[in-house]
A and B are shown apart, each in its own frame.
Chain A
Amino acid sequence: MPFDLDMIRAVYKALPQRVEEARKKLGRPLTLAEKILYSHLHPESPLQNYNRGKDYVFFAPDRVAMQDATAQMALLQFMTAGRDKVAVPSTVHCDHLIEAEVGADKDLSKANEVNKEVYDFLSSISNKYGIGFWKPGAGIIHQIVLENYAFPGGMMIGTDSHTPNAGGLGMVAIGVGGADAVDVMAGMPWELKMPKLIGVKLTGKMSGWTSSKDVILKVVRHPDRQRRHRRHRGILRAGRRVPVLHRQRHHLQHGRRDRGHYFYLWV
């Protein structure tokens, strides 16, 4: 069972008190995103009111996911840190190096041949350092994370720009570079500019042909959003759940960490 129940229990145990402390410190109600961010402050960043899009803050993510292209240098570096095991639950997913050509079976066996040295390395290093390893053909990192690892209220980083997919289950999930993954796996704090937030209120009802993907594409094209925020900035839906929309979960991201542009739409 890949699921880390103990870690999730520990997060939930600490969550109410940390959220309460943050609410008191900031002196106002918090959005869901803020509750997650403030409850994941690293001890090196004291609890205080951080300016969105301005202040750099250290966080302590609950887990790390890596795809097979970015995992290579991250794990080669991690090896030199001299640890027996990764500091937080981590996984490697072999999804990037399989070329689609004819169909599933043939393409997969070709990939296993062409990328053997990479897969052997990733499999053995994962085995050694306590990292869950998802073989070629097991699936795409973000779908596997949704099926096995994502949990509401959690914080994870992933070495791929589509990591916010896990936001669909109500967690803060952010795409990073390999160096960030190394830091967290080695037990160092993870630095991020306090993200900006945008509230979006969705009203109305979807017709039979629309899906939440259409809603997102519409939101992304919204002139206000384009003018004020260009393409880069995630979005967080404010207010109550919209019942017609909850049937699908989607993410929207593509941030620039340096600019504090990071949130996504939770539908």
Chain B
Amino acid sequence: MGLIGSCTNSSYEDLDRAASLARQAVAKKLKVKSEFTVTPGSEQIRYTVARDGQLRDFEKMGGVVLANACGPCIGQWARHTDDPNRANSIITSFNRNFSKRNDGNPQTRAFVASPEIVTAMAIAGDLTFNPLTDSLVNEDGQQVKLDPPSGIELPTNGFAVEDAGFQPPAADGSNVEVKVDPTSDRIELLTPFKPITQEQLKGMRLLIKAKGKCTTDHISMAGPWLKYRGHLDNISNNCFIGAINYFNDQANKVANYADSDAQAEFMAVPDSARKYKAAGISTVVFGEENYGEGSSREHAAMEPRHLGVRAVIVKSFARIHETNLKKQGMLALTFVNPADYEKIRQDDKIDLLGFDTMAPGKNLRVALHHSDGTTDAFEVAHTYNQAQIDWVRAGSALNKIRQELAGV
């Protein structure tokens, strides 16, 4: 199967050169061996190549024109296949070639090439086809070769479009209502976060002591959850489900002490967070090195914030995630002595001291009250400057902006 177009290869020249091969296939009576799709990058380019004939050339060779959208390039592809377990190859002019990217099938091998080569390979139906040297047998049984592709850079008659699909914003939007369906499970308006208080930082419980690597994917898993990325409460059901619990080496199974100080109840991390939140108990997350590396998605900071986590205390942060936590008005802290990570027990009651007088460069203090009556205490550092401390005091960076705009 060959796929061309997408944002990567939708210039007029790309499509014109590929179409020159499609025309050759028809003229030389070659039966196209592979399926073939074309994804125009925009309505303007689609309209222009429809007017100038290239789109017809692709259709004549058996191609299917897909919507002007990302489609198969980002896995939005309901591919029809007779046997999903059969190893198969696709060749695309997109820019990713890893497993499962395009059709979600691990049996699909994806290769990346120019639109011209993709078209030639689709005509030949063979990845070993070398258009410079190899010939193909046509419907009359003759050996024919493909000539090198040719095309022009820009349309002779200029670009054209009937309806580009653009909606300009209202000049004055003050009376425009933002439409959110209250029954939607995909979009939910946000309620600004309330600032943390010193009182909330006493007697906190451990949500999870994450062991080893804890990336933003461990904190907020992608895949099917992306459906809920506009609905904070729903997507929070993936919060930390990929992180490994230090105490049992398992993912998504943590101890909860909301009902009883003595008796742990084991449950999924989001459930534990919600149970503590409902009981009015703040929670803390502990982690190791380079915590929060990976995709910069803000959900990895917003979900713990939404579920009542006040502080994330780790050996070291990935910088962007640390900043994201600060922006959401949370406490992103690091162990002064990384070995203190070992001191945290799963049934500890945890105090964070010094928040009231938090200032740039000044450490805070953690006190762990263990269930055997003993106590451990240690210092934790932070990198907040005064402006960032102001974000925390306001509840979030956006709260701070709102207050400033309102003249508070």
Contacts and interface: CB of A to CB of B under 8 A. Distances in A.
Nearest to A83: B405
Interface string B54-73: 00000000001111111110
Nearest to B69: A98
B112 interface: yes
A79 interface: yes
Given A56-B319, A77-B398, A127-B176, A103 B6 contact: no
Interface in A56-99: 56, 67, 69-70, 72-74, 76-85, 94-99
B17 interface: yes
Contacts of A129: 169, 173
A196 interface: no
B226 interface: yes
Interface in B145-186: 148-150, 153, 159, 164-170, 173-174, 176-181, 184, 186
Interface stretch (A9-17, A25-33, A114-122): A114-122
The residue among A94, A103, A193 with the most chain B CB atoms within 10 A of its own CB is A103
B402 A82 contact: yes
Given A99-B77, A177-B298, A138 B401 contact: no
A247 B7 contact: no
A125 interface: yes
Chain A: interface secondary structure?
A: mixed
A208 interface: yes
B114 interface: yes
Given A100-B76, A213-B9, A258-B319, A138 B164 contact: yes
Contact of B169 (A127, A214, A249): A127
Interface string A122-138: 01111111111111111
B296 A176 contact: yes
A33 to B, nearest CB: 21
B281 interface: no
A126 B169 contact: yes
B68 A126 contact: no
Size band of the interface chain B makes with A: 35 or more
Contact of B66 (A70, A73, A100, A176): A100
Nearest to A116: B181
A138 B42 contact: yes
Contacts of B66: 100, 103-104, 107
A143 interface: yes
B78 A100 contact: yes
B7 A142 contact: yes
A140 B69 contact: yes
A64 to B, nearest CB: 14
Size band of the interface chain A makes with B: 35 or more
A80 B37 contact: no
B52 interface: no
A104 B68 contact: yes
A245 to B, nearest CB: 12
B108 interface: no
A120 B65 CA distance: 26
Nearest to A215: B114
B95 interface: yes
B42 A104 contact: no
Interface string A143-162: 11001000000000000001
A147 B296 contact: no
Given A85-B173, A99-B76, A144-B42, A182 B165 contact: no
Contact of B65 (A104, A128, A132, A178): A104
Contact of A130 (B169, B232, B295): B169
B401 A81 contact: yes
B67 A107 contact: yes
A257 B76 contact: no
B173 A128 contact: yes
A47 B37 CA distance: 49
Contacts of B299: 73
Given A100-B78, A127-B169, A162-B7, A118 B69 contact: no
B308 interface: no
B108 to A, nearest CB: 15
Contacts of B190: 76-77, 79-80
B70 A207 contact: no
A232 to B, nearest CB: 13
A100 B165 contact: no
A130 B173 contact: yes
A137 B115 contact: no
Interface stretch (B134-142, B202-210, B320-328): B320-328
Interface string B23-42: 00000000000000101111
B14 interface: yes
Given A98-B76, A140-B68, A258-B293, 14 more contacts: A56-B319, A69-B229, A82-B406, A83-B401, A95-B70, A100-B72, A117-B180, A117-B186, A125-B178, A139-B45, A162-B7, A165-B8, A182-B398, A208-B148
